[in-house]
Amino acid sequence: MRKRGRLKFRKIKTWQLLLILIPLLFVDATLLRVDHVRMTELRDAVLAADENENDEAINRALQELKGFVFSHIVVNAVDDNGVQKITFGTGPFYLEHQYIRAANVALAEAEANLSDDSNPNGNVYAMASAVCQPQAIANGWAWDDANYINCMMSEINKYPAADELQDKIIASLPSTELYRREYNSPVWAPTLAGFMLLVTLVVIVVILYRIIVWTVLRLSLLFV
């Protein structure tokens, strides 16, 4: 049976293999695209849970995303400082809203400590707030509005203790790296896309082998 199979395969012409290769490449691209779309859907589910400020849903979505990426071939184009690069996996993404919530808690604690009368910097923050809060109310600025922040920093910078105050506020903020996620997929996985890629690779190797053999034989005839 093996000999018959090999004989039948040898009877297939190289041009026929090329014709077979074209739909194989199309199937490979389609299957990889399906896996990429599924990864994108799972990643969007994580970001949606983050936007909804649901930590339990975030953890569930992250586990589902991780499990899928680790078991499938996920080809992805990511932006690296303006340059598009091909990678295997999700590429980096951030839990932005979870970070903002943590940063707000840290800022509130820092502001509470800095507003303590025993702290020489406390009066600085209080005086800046006394100037900027009426402006915020009059102009409808939120606490995280750029105008309000600029007003606060402008007032704080008027005092000798401003540098120390800013350092303490900045030091209280959590690192953004704690909220950065990136999952890498294997280069090959035992999925439908993985097996189709193997078949395609075998066909390509056979075509290249035949071309090399044909080229060597043609060259050898020239010197006979």
Please give the chain's pLDDT, 224 residues, in tens.
554 545 455 667 888 889 999 999 999 999 999 999 999 999 999 999 999 988 999 999 999 999 999 999 999 988 777 778 889 999 999 998 888 888 777 777 766 665 554 555 556 667 777 888 888 888 887 665 667 767 877 877 776 555 555 666 666 777 888 899 999 999 999 999 999 999 999 999 999 998 888 888 877 777 75
Are 45 and 11 found together in one domain?
A: yes
Residues 192, 132, single domain; the answer is: no
| Residue 224, number of CB atoms within 10 A of its CB | 4
Q: Are 136 and 86 found together in one domain?
A: no
Q: Taking Cα atoms as reference points, which of 43, 21, 71 lies closest to residue 210?
A: 21
Q: Which domain holds residue 52?
A: 2-92+182-222
Q: How many whole angstroms separate alpha carbon 48 and alpha carbon 46?
A: 5
CA of residue 183 relative to chain centroid, distance: 8
Domain co-membership, 26 together with 86: yes
Query: Judging by beta carbons within 10 Å of its beta carbon (0-12, 13-18, 19+), is residue 127 exposed, middle or buried?
Result: middle
Same-domain status, 81 and 111: no
Domain check: are 6 and 72 in the same one?
yes
Structure tokens at 211: 């071309």
